[in-house]
Amino acid sequence: MSAWDGLLGMHVAVVVTATVAVLSLATGLTNISVDAAAGPLAGVVPEIVQATAGFTGTLTGFLMLLATWGLGRRLRAGWYLAVLLLPLTAAQGLVQASLVSVPLVVFSAVALPVVARNYRGFDRELALSDAQVAAIGALSGTLAYATVGAFALRDEFVAGGIETPLDAFYYAIVTSTTVGYGDIAPVTARARLFGISVVVLGTVSFAVALGSVLGPAIEARFARALGTMTDTDYTQFEDHLVVLGHGDLTEALLDAIGDGHETIIVVPDDGTATQLRERGFDVLVGDPSNDEPLREAGVERARAVVAATERDTDDAFAILTARELNPAVRIVAAATARENVRKLERAGADSVISPAAIGGRLLLRAALETDTDGEESGLLPR
């Protein structure tokens, strides 16, 4: 069973997905450049379909790279995207009807069951801020408005410009991004006003979307370059505390940390890192369960490690990694579920705290404690 786990594990799922992404890009670009297909389906699939599959295959390859990034961070959204795209890459490889597409079809067929088998391992939710959700909604709404409006007003554009919904979507993209090739032009005042609205809304929505997505990463880079902490400063830390993850469980810990406690916090996203840096904490952005961020945080020289990602499965991976890098370090973990205390101890934690269990004991103690006159509470038998 362990051999199958190693052969079909999460790491393999990420690798085969990345391979499919690269093959999809390569075969798509190759089939765009060739004049005719040479595969067994060359005489069956129309040339226009082959060419379309080449263009869309390249686009799918970029989306597969996005899915690979999500799988690398164990995001459930990355798993869904990969499972959705893998059958599509296989179908595109077949439709491209070229011998160079055979590896793409084979790897897509192999990758799908491997990724599907590891569903439980990719359990992280995609954390988007309210601004990011609003920006994505605004961008999607603008493109939908431009596409539907252009198709509804197709008779008011130059003849032959917009005939299908795909033509309308093409107009929405080139107008919203202010590319404006000029091949689809309005011929009535109403269509011109519509085009102006698409340009204004598209420019704003694209700018807001890019700002909300790239803003936190840019802020983190500036904070890293201009702030009090640089990469070389981390190498000076010794006998310090490494906190893996951030959430409600770690807030009380961070509030209790004084100036005399050197602490490095490892979080997986730039937005959280920026917020913590603004509060004066030293933060590294990276997966708390990966070797590189923990090495950069100086786990080998740390006094103690606190694993509190608010996901017991993530804590277990982080504990295993920290214990491998520093067998002597003291590791404390916070279990969100009481039944996982033993599991985290087996993963290598020296001490595991269950906030639920502690909270229950404190509630009982508070309910049964004596009053100020020394008399027992009425809840206790006299």
d(CA 160, CA 150): 13
Same domain as 162, residue 279: no
The token pair at 28 is 């798509």
Residues 220 and 235 reside in one and the same domain: no
Residue bearing the bigger pLDDT, 232 or 165: 165
Q: Is residue 176, in this structure, part of any structural domain at all?
A: yes
**DSSP-assigned letter for residue 94:** H
CB 282 within 8 A of CB 265: yes
Residue 31: closest CA among 78, 88, 98, 81 = 98
Structure confidence by residue, pLDDT tens digits, 130-162? 777 788 888 889 999 999 999 999 999 998 889
Among 121, 143, 167, where does a domain finish?
Answer: 121
Domain boundary among 193, 226, 259: 226
Write down the pLDDT at residue 40. 58
Tally the domains of the chain.
3
Strand partners, 124: 75
pLDDT at 33: 58
Ramachandran angles phi, psi of 203, nearest 5°: -60, -45
Q: Is the pLDDT of residue 3 over 50?
A: no
One domain for residues 351 and 263: yes
Please list, in sequence order, all residues whose beta carbon lies within 8 angstroms of the beta carbon of residue 51, skipping any fewer than 6 positions away: 31, 32
* 239 plus 311 within the same structural domain: yes
* Shared domain check, 187 and 96: no
Residue 360's pLDDT band (cuts 50, 70, 90): low
In a domain, 254, yes or no: yes
- The CA-CA-CA angle for residues 42, 48, 50, to 5°, reads 45
pLDDT of residue 230: 47
Q: Is the pLDDT of residue 373 over 60?
A: no
Is there a single domain that holds both residue 310 and residue 359? yes
Q: What is the pLDDT of residue 298?
A: 87
What is the rounded CA–CA span in Å between residue 260 and residue 173? 55
pLDDT digit string, tens, across residues 174-207: 999 888 888 898 999 999 999 999 999 999 988 8
How are strands ordered across the β-sheet holding 330-334?
Answer: 282-285, 263-267, 241-244, 304-307, 330-334, 351-353
Burial class (CB in 10 A: 0-12, 13-18, 19+), 308: buried
Same structural domain for residues 236 and 212? Answer: no
pLDDT at residue 278, rounded to an integer: 80
46-60, 80-94, 232-246, range with greatest mean pLDDT: 80-94
Give the Cα separation of 57 and 52 in Å (integer). 8
Question: Which residue range forms the structural domain that includes residue 49?
Answer: 2-121
- Same structural domain for residues 217 and 261? no
Cα 130 from chain centroid (whole Å): 16
**Residue 380 falls within a domain, yes or no?**
no
The answer to whether position 300 is within a domain reads yes
Residue 121 CB contacts under 8 Å (≥ 6 apart), including other chains: 9, 10, 13, 74, 313
Q: What is the CATH number of the domain that holds 149?
A: 1.10.287.70
Query: CA separation (Å) from 380 to 238, 314, 363, 364, 375?
Result: 50, 42, 14, 11, 10
Listed in sequence order, the residues at least 6 apart from 315 whose beta carbon sits closer than 8 Å to its beta carbon are 244, 245, 307, 308, 309, 333, 334, 335, 344, 347
* Mean per-residue pLDDT of the chain: 79
CA 168/CA 155 separation, integer angstroms? 12
Same domain, 99 and 146: no
Residue 111 lies in a domain: yes
CATH classification at residue 333 = 3.40.50.720
pLDDT of residue 125: 73
Q: What is the pLDDT of residue 35?
A: 52
| Residue with tokens 């961008």, as numbered in its chain | 139
Are 208 and 135 in contact, with CB atoms under 8 Å apart? yes
Amino acid at 259: D
Examine the pLDDT at 380 and tell me if it is beyond 70. Answer: no
Q: How long, in residues, is the chain?
A: 382
Q: Is residue 344 part of a domain?
A: yes
Instruction: Specify the long-range contacts of residues 316-321, CB closer than 8 Å, at least 24 apart.
Output: 316/343, 316/344, 316/347, 317/288, 317/289, 318/244, 318/245, 318/288, 318/289, 318/294, 319/344, 319/347, 319/348, 319/349, 320/289, 320/347, 320/348, 321/288, 321/289, 321/290, 321/291, 321/294
Residue 373 is assigned to a structural domain of this protein: no
Q: Tell me if 374 is assigned to some domain.
A: no
Same domain, 19 and 95: yes
pLDDT given for residue 357 in this prediction: 62
Specify the pLDDT at position 39: 53
Select, from the ranges 41-55, 240-254, 285-299, the one with the highest average predicted confidence (pLDDT).
285-299
Exposed e or buried b per residue across 60-85, where buried means at least 16 C-beta atoms within 10 angstroms of its C-beta: bbebbbebbbbbbbbbbbbbebbbeb
Give residue-wise pLDDT tens across range 85-114.
999 998 888 887 677 788 888 999 999 999
The answer on pLDDT for 328 being more than 90 is no
With bands split at pLDDT 50, 70 and 90, how would you rate the model's confidence at 79? very high
Same domain? 90 vs 168? no
Q: Are residues 137 and 110 in the same domain?
A: no
Q: Which of 86, 121, 156 is the C-terminal boundary of a domain?
A: 121
pLDDT in tens, 129-138: 677 778 888 8
For 287, phi and psi rounded to 5 degrees?
-75, 120
Question: Which spans in 34-129 are helix H?
Answer: 47-72, 76-95, 102-117
